[in-house]
């Protein structure tokens, strides 16, 4: 039988690698599956990194390399693999890759991120790799001393334009808003406005890309008067948002209408033991620092889930005798009194395995058995509920023993 990992992380971006650091450091047998040759996720396609706390001077790729080294220091295993499907069979999760590899785990963190959004305009697909690009750090040097067009006006569009200006002759940013209005942060807007290599075409959209084998012209349409014009250029860069990589999760976990994974604040999906972090989950702020925070949270939750499930499997589901389980809380005196009463009933001598479950620390088990009030007692035989008593009297307990 193949090895069963404690934690498999799907994706090697900042969220995934933060999960790996926290998981491995907690002695979880951790595997990171990354589809691309190089780990780092979306930040690996950027150059500058100015907003990661405590690291005022670094590049995005250097920061991601440090993330990976940190994870490897604690024993994280890294493998290449593009995920085809995820199956959840109770405590066992099965990850299948497109080349046939299959991995098993007790818990899974989905950190597959998002891919650049494509607009589907005429010429975009035709000239992909022939002047059309979605990655500045990947392709900037190919456009040295040439004129290019940038589509987009958010943070990533402006940051990447500033980076591209170190290589190209001239950049024309096509902005859909009125003059002076952009979606990027003010400090980035100011940097772009002050950059002599960056020009702007306002109230406009890109309608078509033309060329003979390679990009030669961009057709721009003014959205207010409908007029079209052609810009001579050697390349078109798109920075218009991203699409979550969740196709393989249809029917497995809950997704929003736009394909993002729905989670709790604890990064939990609707599947116990399956978590989602970073850009792939439904959230407001998508930055490296928030992705890392997501990853740390998910790993801590995964560790608690594994401990809780293994305890339940070993002491209840696979027990060789019936189990009597008392759900209690240190904040509820009635439940504490009942636990004391049960401890004095010599249940072990009567052929029962007696367990106490703190509802605060064991939310998953409590939720699975719909424990809404405490104290509650469950009698389980062969792992199945035989009796359930809510706020029971002593006579009721004696009746089910």
**Interatomic CA distance for residues 252 and 248, integer angstroms:** 8
222, 204 in Cβ contact below 8 A?
yes
pLDDT band at 326 (very low <50, low <70, confident <90, very high): very high
**Interatomic CA distance for residues 223 and 80, integer angstroms:** 45
The tokens for 378 are 């469950």
Is residue 343's pLDDT more than 70?
A: yes
The four Cα atoms 331, 336, 337, 342 give a dihedral, to 10 degrees, of 160
**Interatomic CA distance for residues 8 and 11, integer angstroms:** 9
pTM: 0.79
- Over residues 321-347, mean pLDDT: 91
Pick from 11, 135, 13, 28: which is nearest to 80 by CA?
11
Query: With pLDDT > 90 as the criterion, what percentage of the chain qualifies?
Result: 74
User: 240 forms bridges with which residues in the sheet?
Assistant: none
Other residues' Cβ atoms within 10 Å of the Cβ of residue 381: 12
pLDDT band at 192 (very low <50, low <70, confident <90, very high): very high
- Per residue in 60-114, pLDDT tens? 889 999 999 999 999 999 999 999 999 999 899 999 999 999 999 999 999 999 8
- Over residues 303-320, mean pLDDT: 89
158, 189 in Cβ contact below 8 A?
yes
* Bridge-based pairing state of the strands 215-222 and 204-211: antiparallel
172, 200 in Cβ contact below 8 A?
yes
Token pair 């218009």 is at which residue?
240
Other residues' Cβ atoms within 10 Å of the Cβ of residue 303: 19
What's residue 320's pLDDT?
86
Most confidently predicted of 18-32, 125-139, 358-372: 18-32
Active site residues: 135, 138-139
Is residue 1's pLDDT more than 70?
A: no
The tokens for 394 are 């002593």
- Per residue in 218-275, pLDDT tens? 999 999 999 999 999 999 999 998 899 999 999 999 999 999 999 999 999 999 999 9
Token pair 């650091």 is at which residue?
21
The tokens for 309 are 């499930």
Give just the sign of the alpha carbon dihedral 55, 20, 270, 268. Answer: negative
Domains annotated for the chain, with CATH where assigned, are: 4-116+242-312 (3.50.50.60), 132-238 (3.50.50.60), 320-400 (3.40.30.10)
Query: With pLDDT > 70 as the criterion, what percentage of the chain qualifies?
Result: 99
Q: Which residues contact 42 (CB under 8 A, 6 or more apart)?
A: 13, 113, 114, 242, 279
Cis ω for the linkage preceding 375 (within 30 of 0): yes
* Bridge-based pairing state of the strands 48-49 and 58-59: antiparallel
């Amino acid at each position: 039988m193949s090895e069963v990992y404690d934690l498999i992380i799907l994706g090697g971006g900042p969220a995934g690698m933060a999960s790996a650091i926290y998981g491995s450091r907690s002695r979880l047998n951790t595997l990171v599956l990354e589809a691309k040759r190089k780990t780092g996720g979306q930040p690996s396609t950027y150059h500058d990194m100015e907003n990661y706390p405590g690291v005022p001077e670094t590049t995005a790729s250097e920061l991601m390399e440090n993330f990976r080294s940190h994870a490897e220091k604690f024993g994280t295993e890294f493998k290449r693999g593009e995920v085809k499907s995820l199956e959840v069979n109770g405590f066992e999760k099965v990850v299948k890759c497109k080349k046939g590899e299959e991995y098993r785990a007790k818990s899974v963190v989905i950190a597959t991120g998002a891919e650049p959004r494509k607009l589907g305009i005429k010429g975009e697909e035709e000239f992909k790799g022939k002047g059309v690009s979605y990655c500045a750090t990947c392709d900037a040097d190919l456009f040295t001393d040439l004129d290019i067009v940038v589509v987009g006006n958010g943070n990533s569009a402006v940051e990447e334009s500033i980076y591209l200006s170190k290589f190209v002759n001239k950049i024309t940013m096509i902005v859909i808003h009125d003059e002076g209005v952009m979606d990027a942060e003010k400090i980035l807007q100011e940097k772009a406005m002050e950059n002599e290599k960056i020009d702007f075409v306002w109230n406009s959209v890109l309608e078509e890309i033309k060329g003979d084998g390679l990009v030669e012209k961009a057709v721009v349409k003014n959205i207010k008067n409908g007029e079209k014009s052609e810009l001579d250029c050697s390349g078109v860069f798109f920075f218009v948002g991203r699409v979550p990589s969740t196709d393989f999760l249809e029917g497995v976990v809950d997704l929003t209408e736009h394909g993002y994974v729905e989670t709790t604040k604890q990064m939990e999906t609707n599947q116990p033991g399956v978590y989602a972090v970073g850009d792939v989950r439904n959230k407001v702020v998508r930055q490296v620092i928030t992705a890392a925070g997501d990853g740390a949270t998910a790993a801590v939750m995964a560790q608690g889930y594994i401990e809780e499930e293994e305890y339940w499997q070993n002491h209840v589901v696979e027990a060789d005798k019936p189990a009597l389980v008392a759900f209690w809380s240190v904040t509820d005196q009635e439940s504490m009194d009942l636990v004391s009463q049960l401890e004095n009933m010599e249940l072990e001598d009567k052929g029962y395995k007696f367990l106490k479950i703190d509802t605060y620390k064991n939310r998953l088990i409590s939720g699975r058995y719909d424990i809404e009030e405490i104290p509650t007692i469950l009698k389980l035989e062969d792992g199945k509920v035989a009796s359930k008593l809510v706020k029971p009297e002593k006579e009721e307990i004696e009746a089910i023993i």
